[in-house]
Amino acid sequence: MALTSDDARRIADYARIAVDEGDLGQLADYLNNMMETLAPIKEFDLEGVEPTFHPIGDLTNVMREDEPGKSLPIELALKNAPQTSDRYFRVPTILGGQE
């Protein structure tokens, strides 16, 4: 079943994509080509296969204490900086304030 320009319009509206009327035919062709490319997936035997909603399964965030680690000495970290101010990197202001 090929998608029509009306189908493409509804899909674009659903996805909130602005598409000119003249481009709907091209979008429908693109979507039909994509569906044709994915058609071989229908040939897989998926009987009894549970759907997955996340490719990694039951992935959860692992939180640990934030512990300081080994760092560079300040002198070495600032060695190649174009500008410094005491112990800090000096960078241009981005908020339009005083330097």
- Residues of the chain above pLDDT 70, percent: 94
* In the predicted structure, residue 99 carries a pLDDT above the cut 70: no
Q: Does 36 map to a domain? A: yes
Number of domains composing the chain: 1
Choose among 24, 33, 22: nearest CA to 11.
24
| Mean pLDDT for the stretch of residues 37-64 | 83
Enclosing domain of residue 15: 5-43
Q: Which range, of 54-58, 61-65, 71-75, 76-80, averages the lowest pLDDT?
A: 54-58
pTM more than 0.85: no
Q: Does 71 map to a domain? A: no
Q: Tell how far CA 69 is from the center of its chain.
A: 30
Q: Does 11 map to a domain? A: yes
CA dihedral (31, 32, 34, 36) in degrees, to 10, reads 170
Q: Does 95 map to a domain? A: no
Q: Does 70 map to a domain? A: no
